[in-house]
Amino acid sequence: MRRCSLLLVLALCDPLAVWAQAAHQPKSATLRQALQAYDNLDFTRAVALARRALTERLSGPDQAQTYELLGFAFAAVDSQAKAVDAFKQAILLDPDRQLDQSKVSPKITSLFYSAMGQVLVVRQLRVDSARFIPGQGSVPLRFTITSPARVRVRAVSGATTLLVDSMVTTGLVNTRWTARLPGGDPVATGAWLIVVEATAGQNAYSASQALRVAYNLVDTLPHLTSLPGYQELPETEVPPQSWRPLGLAFLFTTATAVGVVALHSGDLGSAPGTELATVGAVTIGTGLVMTLRKPAPRPATGNILYNKLLREQLAQRNADITKENVKRRQQVVLSVVPLPPPAGAPR
Amino acid sequence: MTRSGFITLLGALTAAPAAAQHLVITPQAALVDYGEVSSALRFSGVGPAVQASFTFGRFAAEGSFVSVQMDPTDQTSAAEGFQATEIVGHIRYEVTGYLGLEVGLTSRTTDSEFAAQSIGAASVGVRTHYLLGPGARVWARGGYLAAAQFSGGGSAPLSFEVGLGVDVTLVRHVHLTADYGFEKFGRKTEPGGGAEVTAPIEQSQARLGVAAVF
């Protein structure tokens, strides 16, 4: 009954799709025959052909795929211990190997992860691209340790070796590389290798990822022409229309006329009027014109002070930007880019 | 003045900002009314005048020259007119932005000693001015005329002058000016050594001109 149900599950999980997800076309003819036998649900033949393939000179990916096929086949015939052993070999050969849980039966997936927990490997070592000023950023690193181990992460370039991190851990690990030398200077440009070493008793495993480190100039800040959100106000304002000019002209003319009348001696007849009337008319006429004329703009003290403050703030900001730019011109931006693995390396 | 004093004054003059110095020359037309002793001696006339002023910081110096042919008015009994020539000089110090103190000299001569008095006097007074608007200024002055001298003798302890004027900027270096001045000499004399009699003298003068400002 158990065997029947397992066959049913395997039939439902479309073995061809399982192999397709590996995106690897085996070169070994024997391996291809073994895969075909598995697809035909002839598990005994699949095991025999896979074992024969392992006696041949296989490439690393072919070897890993052969052990994985053995694991699938042993699982299908309920040889769980053998299946786990086969999966362990596959994982050791290709630590990044994964099963598509949507296409593989839970039983096989369970055996696969059981195998993974019994070996010590560093999986899925990933280094993200990063661009930062030394001391103000770092390179994110992440990887998975399949079983508890002491882990050391190092950055290596030629004779230079820098310890990035050291821990006892298992599972997913996130850490960062500051890309600085112990003295605080940025690391040299060129090729670097991030090496993750895991040690547990007699078992040891290491994985690495190549990087390229380059220097770039730090972008300088543009100077400001205005403060965002603040605008200068008009420094003059047109005062409201006023009768003051006419009033002043009338006042001056009247005062003079009063003075003339007061000083005039009655013995000399009527007070002289033509001259005063002439100049008085010109004066009052000027006052009237100035009253009717559009008032001249006058300084707006509040706005002038506001603008002065704004300009001082702008000058201060630009002075700060200048200082910052001077500092930035003395700095570099580290550009860290992970390099693809060499061709033919296991995924 | 010593040489060092002169050099110091020259240095002070040249060190002053150019913007604080103005030279104004104003050709004018003068309209004058003159009366003496009684309503029977009234003259009026029209003639040319010229005024010049120089402003240096808070100080200003003004001078004017008027030459008018004065003719008897219709209501008087005077038989002949006369040629009047007036020279006036003032020095002013601006105490505040609108008030200045003035001292000056006035001299008015006539070509006919029997037609009108020739007069000389010192003056002390104040002048105030206000802006009516952009380029327009009104001013008024009042002063005491001291130590008046007359060709016919006598004295005038109570003599005063008042004035009114307006200055309008037409274009940058050209202004329109209108000045009015009234002088009252409370002259008293003792004809033939007899009793003192009052012989007041008044002059009313209007001047219209176009000023060149440098």
Which has more confidence, A77 or A346?
A77
- List chain B residues with CB under 8 Å of A268: 35-39, 42, 200, 202
Mean pLDDT value of segment B27-51:
89
Looking at the fold, whether A160 and A102 belong to one and the same domain comes out as: no
Cα–Cα dist A322/A333, whole Å: 19
Minimum CA–CA partner of A263 in chain B: B184
Minimum CA–CA partner of A253 in chain B: B164
**Inter-chain touch B164–A264, beta carbons under 8 Å:** no
Looking at the fold, whether A8 and A100 belong to one and the same domain comes out as: yes
Looking at the fold, whether A246 and A261 belong to one and the same domain comes out as: yes
Our CA-based measurement puts residue A289 at a distance from the nearest CA of chain B, in whole angstroms, of 9
Task: Please state the pTM of the whole predicted model.
Answer: 0.52
The tally of domains found in chain A comes to: 3
Nearest to B132 among A249, A260, A268 (CB): A249
Determine the residue among A282, A289, A298 to mutate to test chain B binding: the one whose Cβ has the most chain B Cβ atoms within 10 Å. A282
- Is the pLDDT confidence value at B16 over 50? no
Cα–Cα dist B161/B167, whole Å: 20
Residue A52 lies inside a defined structural domain of this protein: yes
Residue A338 lies inside a defined structural domain of this protein: no
Q: Which domain holds residue A15?
A: 2-117
**Any idea what DSSP says for residue B191?**
G
Looking at the fold, whether A173 and A199 belong to one and the same domain comes out as: yes
CATH number, residue A97: 1.25.40.10
Our CA-based measurement puts residue B117 at a distance from the nearest CA of chain A, in whole angstroms, of 15
Residue A242 lies inside a defined structural domain of this protein: yes
Query: pLDDT tens digit string along A223-270?
Result: 999 888 999 999 998 888 888 899 999 999 999 999 999 988 877 777
Domain boundary, last residue among A117, A139, A160 = A117
**Pick from B36, B23, B53: nearest CA to B165:** B53
Q: What is the Cα B175 distance to its own chain's centre? A: 19
Query: pLDDT tens digit string along B158-208?
Result: 899 999 999 999 888 999 999 999 999 988 888 777 788 888 899 999 999
Residue A344 lies inside a defined structural domain of this protein: no
Looking at the fold, whether A34 and A103 belong to one and the same domain comes out as: yes
Q: With left for phi above 0 and alpha for psi between -120 and 50, is residue B52 left, alpha or beta?
A: beta
3-state secondary structure of B65: strand
Q: Are B197 and B189 in contact (CB under 8 A)?
A: yes
- The pLDDT confidence band at residue A346, using thresholds 50, 70 and 90, is very low
- Which pLDDT does position A343 carry in this prediction? 58
Mean pLDDT value of segment A190-215:
91
Query: Secondary structure of A265-292 in the HEC alphabet?
Result: CHHHCCCCCHHHHHHHHHHHHHHHHHHH
Domain boundary, last residue among A117, A142, A162 = A117
Query: pLDDT tens digit string along A270-303?
Result: 777 888 999 999 999 999 998 888 877 889 999 9
Q: Are B111 and B102 in contact (CB under 8 A)?
A: no
- Is the pLDDT confidence value at B75 over 70? yes
CATH number, residue A168: 2.60.40.10
- List chain B residues with CB under 8 Å of A260: 162, 182, 204
Looking at the fold, whether A209 and A282 belong to one and the same domain comes out as: no
Our CA-based measurement puts residue A261 at a distance from the nearest CA of chain B, in whole angstroms, of 10
Q: How many pairs of residues across A and B have Cβ atoms under 8 Å apart?
A: 124
Looking at the fold, whether A268 and A313 belong to one and the same domain comes out as: yes
- List chain A residues with CB under 8 Å of B186: 265
Our CA-based measurement puts residue B189 at a distance from the nearest CA of chain A, in whole angstroms, of 15
Residue A335 lies inside a defined structural domain of this protein: no
Minimum CA–CA partner of A293 in chain B: B133
Our CA-based measurement puts residue A303 at a distance from the nearest CA of chain B, in whole angstroms, of 22
Residue A341 lies inside a defined structural domain of this protein: no
Looking at the fold, whether A185 and A204 belong to one and the same domain comes out as: yes
- Which pLDDT does position A18 carry in this prediction? 54
Instruction: Choose which CATH entry (3.65.10.10, 3.40.462.10, 3.40.50.720, 2.40.128.100) describes domain B19-213.
Output: 2.40.128.100
**Inter-chain touch A275–B31, beta carbons under 8 Å:** yes
- Which pLDDT does position A191 carry in this prediction? 92
Cα–Cα dist A162/A151, whole Å: 14
- Which pLDDT does position A347 carry in this prediction? 44
String of DSSP letters for A159-188: TEEEEEEEEEEEEEEEEEE--B-TTSPBPP
Q: Are B46 and B68 in contact (CB under 8 A)?
A: yes
Q: Are A157 and A188 in contact (CB under 8 A)?
A: yes
Q: Are A17 and A72 in contact (CB under 8 A)?
A: no
The answer to whether B6 contacts chain A (CB < 8 Å) is no
Domain boundary, last residue among A117, A151, A166 = A117
Looking at the fold, whether A103 and A15 belong to one and the same domain comes out as: yes
Nearest to A275 among B75, B186, B204 (CB): B204
**Range of weakest confidence among A1-10, A196-205, A310-319, B1-10:** A1-10
Looking at the fold, whether A55 and A73 belong to one and the same domain comes out as: yes
- The pLDDT confidence band at residue A342, using thresholds 50, 70 and 90, is low
Cα–Cα dist A93/A67, whole Å: 9
Looking at the fold, whether A307 and A262 belong to one and the same domain comes out as: yes
- Which pLDDT does position B13 carry in this prediction? 45
Query: pLDDT tens digit string along A81-131?
Result: 899 999 999 998 888 888 877 788 888 888 898 888 888 999 889 998 988
Counting beta carbons within 10 angstroms of the beta carbon of residue A108, is it exposed (0 to 12), middle (13 to 18) or buried (19 or more)? buried
Tokens of A248: 């002043």
